[in-house]
């Protein structure tokens, strides 16, 4: 920077999750002047008070990990983002997989990777994932390699038992303990290279000035930069909308969203599904041609619920260090939103409808009762805290119930007993509901110098994908 513009940094990164952390680190080590803004605090300060993580023999939190849950999780901000605040799955270690399916318009279907489409090229996306892993290994993630796996071979393959696609590509999990190590070391390296870190600083407004630079208002201060990387997670939906509208960024309402439920069953029933891959992805196409797929398999895990805008939605926890006797996973349908509709509002309305049936929260129901295949005199309960037992069919609608039936009936061949009295269904689950932002292959918007990385790019979700997009945006700025 010259003396004339000493107050103008090269970049401001908004959000300290995987995408924001990796973007800020890459910018700092590349010699850029960069500030990272994070609404929450340090990762340790942001961890749930009911979580224990051990590092170098010291307790970070004086409570047992995952023994209890809050009715509403409010620990989803802070360095590391929601992803690293719980044991989680990072995704593919070697070889990017094409796990998404869609009609090809010629009577068949094609497979693709969301990251491949975001970055414009499959090989480029695969390299970005590999690079993200190498950074995590460098900063303390214990390497996990799959013997015999060809890194050039996509994991997606034709399905079985009625599935269009079955993906059992090797992936890697990470515990909170290891996430703390990675985040600590990555952040220390970034700070040593000049990163400015501001915790407890909620970005309130981003606007482009007449001279082409960007002004970010946060915590009562105005910061100036040539570039801004927006890397907020799902909870930042309202903020992202304001940034798009304030700066006339080219976008359209999302036309596709993922809606669905989570299933939970005794771990021994689901064991055949996870025997060779702890996060298998199974997909079929419903009668409307919409993909129905498994999502986020949490073997030995718990379901969790968190506040999202004016509603409550569900997710899964990977309880790797203290597993439970249950396994849960999502079943989501990629919905084509009715013409003229706004996918974000469509998804929120779905969640609100389910919440209304649950007196303001999620609803749980035995699978057999949801499918109309019998009564369960003694419902088996679930890992959710204070969930309402109710009739989900009316709020899900007949098509979503049919999608669930189609999935579990196909899975029954792989996991005998899944369609039985011990399995419960919980809702709502909503994903991929950010507006569809027009982005370059470097994730730059139509407003020069404004980038969107990670979940809020509307292109991808996931820890490793998020980290990869963060690095891509940073390298574009450095060029």
pLDDT at 4 over 80: no
Same-domain status, 210 and 246:
yes
- Split into its structural domains, the chain has a count of 2
The answer to whether position 240 is within a domain reads yes
The answer to whether 86 and 296 have CB atoms below 8 angstroms apart is: no
Residue where a domain stops, chosen among 394, 414, 431? 431
- Tokens (6 digits) for 445: 């918007």
Q: What is the mean pLDDT of residues 85-110?
A: 80
Q: With DSSP H G I counted as helix, E B as strand and the rest as coil, what are the percentages for the chain, rounded to 5?
A: 30, 30, 40
Which residues does residue 205 pair with via DSSP β-bridges, in sequence order? 217
- 247 with 352, same domain: the answer is no
On whether residue 135 sits in a domain, the answer given is: no
Q: Residue 63 above 50 pLDDT?
A: no
Q: Residue 59 CB: number of other CB atoms within 10 A?
A: 10
Cβ neighbour number for residue 478 with a 10 Å cutoff: 15
Does residue 96 fall inside a structural domain?
no
Mean pLDDT across 62-69: 44
Cβ neighbours for 261, distance < 8 A, ≥ 6 positions apart: 330, 331, 392, 396, 400, 404, 425, 426, 427, 428, 429
User: Cα–Cα distance between 83 and 100 in angstroms, integer?
Assistant: 21
Residue 56: predicted pLDDT: 52
Question: Using one digit for the tens of pLDDT, what is the confidence trace for 365-417?
Answer: 999 999 999 999 888 888 887 778 899 999 999 999 999 999 999 999 889 99
Across-strand partners of 316?
Answer: 303
What is the torsion angle, in degrees rounded to the nearest 10, for the CA atoms of residue 196, residue 197, residue 198 and residue 200? 180
Q: Which residue has the tokens 């599935």?
A: 163
Cβ neighbours of residue 316 closer than 8 Å, sequence gap 6 or more: 262, 296, 297, 298, 301, 302, 303, 304, 328, 329, 330
Asked if residue 289 and residue 353 are part of one domain, the reply reads yes
**pLDDT greater at residue 43 or residue 52:** 43
Q: What DSSP string describes 76-129?
A: --STTHHHHTS-EEEEESSS----EEEE-SSSSEEEE-HHHHHHT-HHHHHHHH
87 alpha-carbon distance from chain centroid: 13
Clarify whether residues 239 and 298 are in a common domain.
no
User: Do 318 and 401 belong to one domain?
Assistant: yes
Same-domain pairing of 71 and 186? yes
Residues 73, 224: contact at Cβ < 8 Å? no
Tokens found for residue 183: 């985040």
Judgement on whether residues 217 and 230 belong to the same structural domain of the protein: yes
DSSP designation for 58: E
Q: What local confidence, expressed as pLDDT, does residue 236 receive? A: 92
The C-alpha atoms of residue 107 and residue 45 are separated, in whole angstroms, by 53
CA distance 466 to 16: 11
**321 and 202 within one domain:** no
Q: Which has more confidence, 227 or 362?
A: 227
Decide if 116 is inside a domain: no
Cα separation of 253 and 269, whole Å?
A: 40
Amino acid 199: pLDDT: 94
Answering whether pTM is above 0.85, one says: yes
Q: 118-146 pLDDT, tens per residue?
A: 999 999 999 999 999 999 999 999 987 65
Q: Do 294 and 440 sit in the same domain of this protein?
A: no
Residue 457 has pLDDT above 60, yes or no: yes
- Counting residues of the chain whose pLDDT is more than 70, the rounded percentage is 89
pLDDT of residue 46: 74
What's the pLDDT at 51? 56
One-character DSSP codes across 444-470: B-SSTTEEE-GGGGSS--SHHHHHHHH
Mean pLDDT of 90-108: 79
Q: State the Cα–Cα distance between residues 282 and 158, nearest whole angstrom.
A: 10
pLDDT value for 162: 80
- How many CB atoms are closer than 10 A to CB 120? 11
Whether residue 226 sits in one domain with residue 291? no
Closest C-alpha to 133, from 151, 116, 119: 151
Classify residue 39 as exposed, middle or buried by CB count within 10 Å of its CB (0-12, 13-18, 19+): buried
DSSP state of 338: P
pLDDT of 65 higher than 50: no
Domain of residue 56: give its range.
3-90+176-252+435-478
Are residue 245 and residue 337 in the same domain, yes or no? no
Q: Say which residues have a Cβ less than 8 Å from residue 310's Cβ, sequence separation at least 6.
A: 348, 352
Q: Does any domain span residue 230? A: yes
How far lies 457's CA from each of 37, 301, 421, 453, in Å?
18, 28, 40, 5
Q: Which residues of 429-443 are buried (b: 16+ CB within 10 A; e: fewer)?
A: bbbbbbbbbebeebb
The answer to whether residues 246 and 335 belong to one domain is no
pLDDT at 152 over 50: no
**What confidence category does residue 262 fall into, taking pLDDT thresholds of 50, 70 and 90?**
very high
Residue 395, in any domain of the structure: yes
| Residues in contact with 86: Cβ distance below 8 Å, sequence separation at least 6, in sequence order | 51, 176, 304, 317, 318
Residue 306 backbone dihedrals phi, psi, to 5 degrees: -145, 155
**Does any domain span residue 336?**
yes
Cβ atoms of residues 72 and 306 within 8 Å: yes
Residue 71 within any structural domain of the chain:
yes
For 215, the enclosing helix (H) or strand (E) is strand 214-218
Overall size of the chain counted in residues: 479
Give 376-389 pLDDT, tens digit per residue.
988 888 888 777 88
249-272 average pLDDT score:
95
Out of 63-67, 383-387, 461-465, 475-479, pick the least confident: 63-67
Q: Which pLDDT score, from 0 to 100, does residue 103 have?
A: 78
């Amino acid at each position: 920077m010259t003396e004339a513009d000493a107050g103008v940094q090269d970049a401001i990164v908004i959000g300290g999750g995987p995408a924001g952390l990796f973007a800020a680190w890459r910018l700092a080590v590349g010699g850029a002047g960069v500030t990272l803004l994070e609404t929450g605090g340090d990762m340790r300060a942001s961890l749930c008070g009911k979580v224990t993580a051990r590092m170098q023999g010291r307790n970070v939190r004086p409570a047992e990990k995952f023994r209890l849950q809050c009715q509403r999780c409010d620990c989803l901000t802070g360095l590391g983002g929601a992803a690293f605040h719980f044991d989680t799955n990072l995704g593919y270690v070697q070889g990017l997989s094409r796990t998404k399916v869609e009609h090809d318009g010629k009577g068949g279907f094609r497979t693709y990777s969301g990251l491949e489409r975001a970055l414009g090229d499959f090989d480029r996306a695969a390299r970005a994932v590999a690079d993200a892993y190498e950074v995590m290994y460098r900063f303390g993630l214990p390497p996990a390699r799959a013997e015999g796996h060809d890194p050039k071979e996509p994991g997606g393959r034709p399905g079985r038992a009625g599935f269009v696609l079955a993906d059992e590509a090797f992936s890697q999990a990470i515990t909170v303990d290891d996430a703390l190590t990675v985040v600590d070391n990555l952040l220390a390296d970034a700070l040593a290279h000049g990163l400015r870190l501001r915790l407890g600083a909620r970005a309130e407004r981003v606007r482009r000035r007449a001279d082409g630079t960007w002004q970010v208002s946060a915590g009562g201060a105005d910061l100036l930069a040539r570039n801004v990387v927006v890397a907020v997670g799902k909870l930042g939906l309202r903020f992202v909308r304001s940034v798009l509208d304030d700066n006339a960024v080219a976008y359209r309402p999302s036309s596709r969203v993922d809606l669905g439920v989570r299933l939970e069953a005794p771990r021994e029933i689901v064991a055949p599904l996870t025997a060779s891959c702890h996060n298998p992805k199974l997909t079929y196409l419903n009668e409307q041609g919409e993909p129905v797929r498994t999502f986020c398999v949490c073997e030995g895990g718990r379901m969790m619920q968190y506040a999202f805008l004016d509603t409550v939605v569900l997710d899964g926890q990977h309880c790797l260090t203290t597993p439970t006797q249950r396994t849960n996973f999502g079943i989501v349908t990629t919905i084509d939103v009715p013409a003229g509709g706004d996918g974000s509002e469509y998804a929120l309305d779905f969640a609100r409808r389910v919440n209304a049936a649950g007196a303001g929260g999620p609803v749980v129901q035995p699978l057999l009762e949801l499918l109309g295949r019998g009564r369960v005199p003694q419902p088996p309960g679930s890992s959710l805290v204070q969930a309402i037992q109710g009739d989900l069919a009316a709020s899900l609608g007949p098509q979503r119930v049919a999608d669930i039936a189609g999935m579990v009936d196909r899975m029954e061949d792989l996991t005998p007993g899944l369609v039985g009295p011990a399995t419960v269904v919980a809702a709502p689950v909503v994903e991929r509901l950010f507006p569809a932002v027009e982005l370059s292959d470097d994730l730059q918007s139509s407003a020069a110098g404004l980038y969107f990385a990670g979940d809020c790019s509307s292109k991808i979700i996931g820890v490793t994908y998020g980290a990869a997009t963060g690095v891509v945006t940073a390298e574009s700025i450095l060029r």
